[in-house]
Amino acid sequence: MVDVVNTLAGGTGLAEGTGFIINSSGDILTNNHVIDGAQSVTVQIDGAGPQLAATVLGYDPIDDVALIKINDISGLSLKVAPLGNSDNLTIGAAVVAIGNAYGKGGTPAVVSGTVADLDQSITASDGGTSENLTGMIQMNADIVSGDSGGPLVSAAGKVIGMDTAGTETGASFSGQSSTTQGFAIPINTALQVAQQIETGQSSGSINVGPGPYIGVKVQDPTTGTGALVDVVEANTPAASAGLQAGDVIVSINSTQLTSSGDLSTALETLHPGESVQIGWVDASGQQHTSSITLASGPPR
């Protein structure tokens, strides 16, 4: 496994998580939310040794899966995680969750438990954004902040899932009891996303390479609906369309935006190079629409 450090675009801070190596080429599976908004990514194998530069190959915000790759594997002795088959998992099976708990680094944290349920649907929220995840493995092993993207291992020593969310990650879960402690993405699901990324072709919510980029920073408006523009970055599609700070984006294609989070959701199935219709209202109340071509930016 590896510790993953995400230096956020714009120098706004760091995000830390976990991943695991799936082949001898240095490809690593992790959660999309671990590398979301990355300006750069580094990894450290087993919490020891040098920080290694890595590249985001692609990601899927719907399934919360990302594939990254160590840039230079020369001189490295990579240990590939033994992968299992999550279709064979049963309720009550013993599991072990491994991760970079609380982003502390060093020796990986290990917690054991059992599978409490399968094929679960949750809405996970970190207080700022939320995501709807389906087909999840529910377990009673604690998943804490920093564990995201780490391997969930069976009693046979095979990776059968990817740790994703838990009651101690700072996340909350809609429709779940307070005794729920952790959720993982089945390894079969994560590998299907990775295989699509490896084809080099973006499809649906799976994006290969950088993400779709408009060039605005937004927040919820104090009144009304939409995404209030705080900043329009120079030489971006938004700037070319004439958007200014204080404007409120109200639609992307036929999707009406009720909050700033809806802007991210509307971009989930779009890709750099695609043309979209953007609608906004300026500070004087005048409505505008423009066709823009999405640029490339940090992963979503």
Bridge partners of 205?
A: none
The single-letter DSSP state of residue 128 is: S
Q: Which of 36, 60, 86, 148 is catalytic?
A: 148
Distance in Å from the first CA to the final CA of the chain: 23
Q: Which two tokens stand for residue 233?
A: 């970055």
* Chain CA centroid to CA 253, Å: 24
Structure tokens at 33: 């939310």
Identify whether 33 is a catalytic site residue. Answer: yes
Catalytic residue among 3, 27, 33, 60: 33
Tokens of 125: 């929220």
| Residue in 3, 36, 63, 64 annotated catalytic | 64
Residues near 99 by beta carbon (within 8 Å), at least 6 away in sequence: 1, 17, 18, 108, 109, 143, 144, 146, 147, 148, 149, 150, 163
Query: Using CA atoms, how far apart are residues 282 and 285, in angstroms rounded to an integer?
Result: 5
Residue positions counted in the chain = 300
Which tokens in the block code for residue 15? 């995000």
Tokens, residue 48: 């020891």
Distances from the Cα of 24 to the Cα of 35, 82, 173, 219, angstroms:
21, 12, 36, 42
Told to judge if 148 belongs to the known catalytic residues of this protein, a careful annotator would answer: yes
Asked if 170 and 129 count as a contact pair (C-beta separation under 8 A), the reply is: no
- So which residues are the catalytic ones? 33, 64, 148
